[in-house]
Amino acid sequence: MLDSLRQIIQEVNSAPDLASVLSLIVQRVKGVMQTQVCSVFLRNPDGHYVLMATDGLNSDAIGKVSVEKGQGLIGHVAMREEPINTEDAQSHPKYLYLPETGEERFGSFLAAPIIHHRQVLGVLSVQQIDKNRFDESNEAFLVTMAAQLAGVIAHAEATGALRRIGQKSEARFSGVAGASGVTMGECVVVSPNADLNSVPYQTNDDPEKELEFFQNCLFAVREDVKRLGIELSSRLNKEERVLFDAYLGMLDDVSLAGEVTEKIKSGLTAQYAWSQVLLEHVSTFNNMHDTYLRERASDVRDLGSRVLAYLQQSTDQKPRFPDNTILVGEDLTASVLAEVPSGKLVGIVSLRGSSNSHIAILARSMGIPTVMGAVDLPFTHLNGQELIVDGYRGAVYVSPSEGLKAHYQAIINEDKVLVAGLETLKDLPCETTDGHRVALWVNTGLMADSMLSIERGAEGVGLYRTEVPFMLRDRFPTEEEQRIIYREQLETFAPHTVTMRTLDVGGDKSLPYFPITEDNPFLGWRGIRVTLDHPEIFLVQVRAMLKASEGLDNLRIMLPMISNVPELEIAQMLIGRAYDELVDEGYKMQMPPVGVMVEVPAAVYQAREFASRVEFLSVGSNDLTQYLLAVDRNNARVAGLYHSLHPAVLKALKIVVDDAHSEGISVSICGELAGDPAAALLLVAMGFDVLSMNATSLLKVKSVIRAISLESAEKLLEQCMLLPDADSINRCLEAAFRRAGLTRLLRPDDAV
């Protein structure tokens, strides 16, 4: 059945619309499984499951017959979220007779739920007259087809195809929270040049003019290929020269140009028509059994990109940026953001990247709600559509209902009022009602971060991401270039402390000129492991930091991803060497405090050993949580398993604080947990000396800490440490906030 599955998937990917997909699915599944009936039921806005396609039941029932969740066998499958396989449907206790369908003559019944991101979108079923239970291979095949169909339906929700056949109107897509906040606006799709997968859906106003434009571009590419073939003829063997002939053959292919022409005549732009036809051909080659033919898919894609480059370069269409622009793209960059006129950018959605990506860091500094890693979002079809971006939970809503818009508008209004009210706190000390003082520092990476931090009353920098200047260049910055950047940061916050983390690349943070490719980068070559393997990079950076601190002496150096004592000792030796060199060169600065980031489980259980060798510890809560829970925090598919307040995380944090204090050194925490007002109460109760967070969270956290006593926070911590799971801990915190009248400072609830 694997070959049949591949064939069906290929046909589905080539189908022009959802109605065609559903019709194709029921026909092909019925044929492969040799049954008398195959049907698809889809959920409508009321939660009913409506018959939307069938091959075998009465076609007049399509769009008219529906069942509630839990009603009949179809509704029972939707409620149970698992297949039902019975040899005699009518004898099943959940059987419901639907006379309009004409199904009374069928005995055996097999159905599987269509699930996308834990939401049951519909049910795929097959039936046959004979009362014989479907075997396991048939059941597995139907489950596989239902899983394939789930992605297609989710895509149809977002692009509006389901609305056109009377189904639900809004769609929700999950990503990773990149920058907090909520916004509503109009989608503007941006895509890299010559990327067939990223061409936005667009229509043309003049098909004849568009066809002429397309033919001119084809001619230009033909001439390019001929010229390139001639130039390289002396350096290529006969077999390699054949490739150029193949390219010319494809460009002259009447059927290929004919398919594009038909799409242009139907109203599509040449760019979009070409990309869709070429992707269909690439898919065809990819699914061929012959290895040689499968490998030709890359040739087709390469040719497609060459033509697309001409189509994109020759067009004079410029993006239109409305006043409420939400930029959406596969892999956005800082230069793309710069193209949006000032004041018009209200939200960002990137299909790739993480909360640590450069674009997310920029968004946080600009205060723009952002969602990263929205992998399933069919962005090429969303240009001009209305979106809601929820940067608190990493959610994107397409074509939201009036009720949903009203809900989020209330959150937006509340956020504005809250921020305005908190401004009065920026110059007040961060201390509990019974006088316990807590330092609030910030995480920065850009000067924009720094200026906002000072405006919000930051008392220091708990994490300066030195990798950001490295990411903004096409080569390693020189020692002097680094010194200038670090000096600016140190002067901006002087006399307050600035904690500079040594270069932390690897994992999800890569440098284009220093690529790190690994199967499992988060468990691989990253952080201190990279810089200790390249002491020339480490020493230049440390020298730049030390030079920058001359006359200010407000520098702390922090080492990322330390997992054992030898790593720490080698790093300390190199720092000492750099310091001695600079003293010999005549520089006058103090030896800065050196600390360790606790972000891997091994460091939790060696905290005391580290604490006896350094001046401070700082917990990197984001990485520590993902390593403790074995959940990639940047993977939207498992985002629901990433719980910063998991009992194991809280216990690990308490161990680190106690061990650091037992050695008489301070301990801070940076990351999303520190900026969460609810979590901040627990961190204060644990004894963290410094909470370091994004500037946008400073005043909220200060407001909470100034509203409670240390004694009450410690009692709350005792309660939470006894609870078995993150949900229970969150409920306990929410109850405490309600009692204290602080509910407005919590993030909006998840009941959306």
pLDDT tens readout for residues 105-143: 788 999 999 988 778 889 999 999 888 889 988 899 899
Quote the CA–CA distance of 127 and 70 in Å, as a whole number: 19
Residue 340 — pLDDT band, cuts 50, 70, 90?
confident
Report if pTM > 0.85: no
E strand spans, 117-175: 119-128, 171-174
**What per-residue confidence (pLDDT) applies to 15?**
61
For the residues 498-518, what does the mean pLDDT come to? 79
**What per-residue confidence (pLDDT) applies to 749?**
44
| Phi (first) and psi of residue 615, to 5 degrees | -95, -20
Question: Is there a contact between 704 and 736 (Cβ–Cβ < 8 Å)?
Answer: no
Closest CA to 363 of 345, 384, 385, 341: 345
Q: Helix (H, G, I), strand (E, B), or coil: what is residue 609?
A: helix
Range from 363-372, 683-692, 695-704, 719-728 carrying the lowest mean pLDDT: 363-372
Give the residue with greater pLDDT, 639 vs 240.
639
For the residues 346-365, what does the mean pLDDT come to? 78
Question: Is there a contact between 483 and 440 (Cβ–Cβ < 8 Å)?
Answer: no
**What per-residue confidence (pLDDT) applies to 201?**
78
Give the residue with greater pLDDT, 359 vs 316.
359
Confidence check: pLDDT of 379 > 70? yes
Confidence check: pLDDT of 165 > 50? no
For the residues 186-204, what does the mean pLDDT come to? 78
Query: Which amino acid is it at 414?
Result: E
Task: Provide the pairing of β-strand 84-86 with 66-67.
Answer: unpaired
Which of 157-171, 273-287, 318-332, 555-569 has the highest mean predicted lDDT (pLDDT)?
555-569
State the average pLDDT for the chain. 85
Confidence check: pLDDT of 752 > 50? no
**What per-residue confidence (pLDDT) applies to 662?**
97
User: Could you tell me the two tokens for 471?
Assistant: 């990411």
User: Could you tell me the two tokens for 502?
Assistant: 């040594």
Scored b (16 or more CB within 10 A) or e, 557-595 reads: bbbbbbbeeebbeebbebbeebbeebeeeeeebebbbbb
Quote the CA–CA distance of 474 and 472 in Å, as a whole number: 7
- The secondary structure of 406-425 as a DSSP string is HHHHHHHHHHHHHHHHHGGG
**What per-residue confidence (pLDDT) applies to 740?**
87
DSSP-assigned beta bridge partners for residue 49: 43, 67
Quote the CA–CA distance of 631 and 638 in Å, as a whole number: 7
Question: Is there a contact between 92 and 135 (Cβ–Cβ < 8 Å)?
Answer: no
Q: Helix (H, G, I), strand (E, B), or coil: what is residue 564?
A: coil
Closest CA to 521 of 536, 506, 534, 505: 506
For the residues 374-401, what does the mean pLDDT come to? 86
Give the residue with greater pLDDT, 61 vs 507.
61
Residue 367 — pLDDT band, cuts 50, 70, 90?
confident
Q: Which domains does the chain have, with CATH numbers?
A: 2-164 (3.30.450.40), 171-193+319-417 (3.50.30.10), 203-314 (1.10.274.10), 426-596+666-745 (3.20.20.60)
Confidence check: pLDDT of 414 > 90? no
Closest CA to 274 of 354, 339, 215, 340: 215
Catalytic residues: 358, 670
Which of 236-245, 311-320, 398-407 has the highest mean predicted lDDT (pLDDT)?
398-407
Closest CA to 223 of 248, 253, 193: 248
| Phi (first) and psi of residue 292, to 5 degrees | -60, -45
State the distance between the two ends of the chain, measured CA to CA, in whole angstroms.
40
**What per-residue confidence (pLDDT) applies to 292?**
54
**What per-residue confidence (pLDDT) applies to 170?**
66
CA torsion sign for 654, 659, 663, 665 is negative
Residue 317 — pLDDT band, cuts 50, 70, 90?
low
| Residues 451-493 pLDDT 10s | 778 888 899 999 998 987 787 677 888 999 999 999 999 999 9
Query: Which amino acid is it at 210?
Result: E
- The secondary structure of 309-376 as a DSSP string is HHHHHH--------TTEEEEESS--HHHHHHSPTT-EEEEEESS--TTSHHHHHHHHHT--EEE--TT
**What per-residue confidence (pLDDT) applies to 751?**
36
Measured CA to CA in angstroms, residue 182 lies from 129, 171, 748 at distances of 53, 17, 10
Which positions ≥6 away from 366 have C-beta within 8 Å? 179, 345, 448
Which of 94-103, 526-535, 537-546 has the highest mean predicted lDDT (pLDDT)?
537-546
Confidence check: pLDDT of 299 > 90? no
| Residues 25-37 pLDDT 10s | 899 899 889 999 9
**What per-residue confidence (pLDDT) applies to 563?**
96
**What per-residue confidence (pLDDT) applies to 343?**
84
